[in-house]
Amino acid sequence: MPKEHIDVQNLQVHDIPPRHDSLQSVDDRVTLVVTQAFGPGGHNLVGFSDVTFNGYPAVSLLIRTPDGREGLVHLSPIHGDKRKSGFTDIAPGTRCTLLCPITKRPLDKLGPVDDGSGANYYALYLTPKLIKGHAVAVTDLWDHFHSRIVDDEAVISYWAQTHAV
């Protein structure tokens, strides 16, 4: 059976618990693909480069490490897919500064991750209106795979894992 792709701009989500421990998929028929993600200056960071994952354009970020190294990282736009390319020679657990590759401005901080890691969430907005309630929340710790897709203040990534389509 082919996977169904969900456009996060048109998804309605209800009754989502505020906390959850696992982001492991429970239904492999659902795939969430981020088709647009805007940095703090309103630039779309999906398709910024020619890097793709399963045919979908990557989400590109400029990453700066505490020792001053920086480079472009291309993230898979497929939620839950841990693949990335580019500047990846970074030790797991390193706190990185996440920047827009176009403006070099830091991504907007959303708040702390609720897992005790000390990581913080930063916003990749789902619309050019740059509304914090409509965002992909990425963390600032390297290899801390705890991102969230939020639309209308609801965690879509959790919904997709708990609802069969």
pLDDT at 152: 56
Query: 29 and 165 in contact (C-beta within 8 Å)?
Result: yes
- The parent domain of residue 132 ranges over 1-9+63-165
Q: How far apart are CA 50 and CA 105, in angstroms?
A: 22
pLDDT at 158: 44
pLDDT tens for the chain, 165 residues long, are 344 444 444 333 333 333 333 334 444 556 778 999 999 999 999 999 999 999 999 999 999 999 999 999 999 998 788 999 999 999 999 999 999 999 999 999 999 998 889 999 999 999 999 988 889 999 999 998 877 777 654 444 444 444 444
Q: Is residue 69 part of a domain?
A: yes
**Strand ranges (DSSP E) for the chain?**
4-6, 30-32, 52-53, 56-57, 59-64, 70-75, 84-86, 97-99, 109-112, 120-125, 135-139, 148-151, 154-155
Q: Is residue 40 part of a domain?
A: no
Q: How far apart are CA 25 and CA 28, in angstroms?
A: 7
| Number of domains, the chain | 1
Beta pairing partners, 60: 74
pLDDT at 86: 97
pLDDT at 36: 94
pLDDT at 20: 34
Q: Is residue 36 part of a domain?
A: no
Q: Is residue 27 part of a domain?
A: no
Q: Is residue 41 part of a domain?
A: no
Backbone angles phi, psi at 84, to 5 degrees: -155, 160
**Residue 159, SS3 per DSSP:** helix
Q: Is residue 39 part of a domain?
A: no
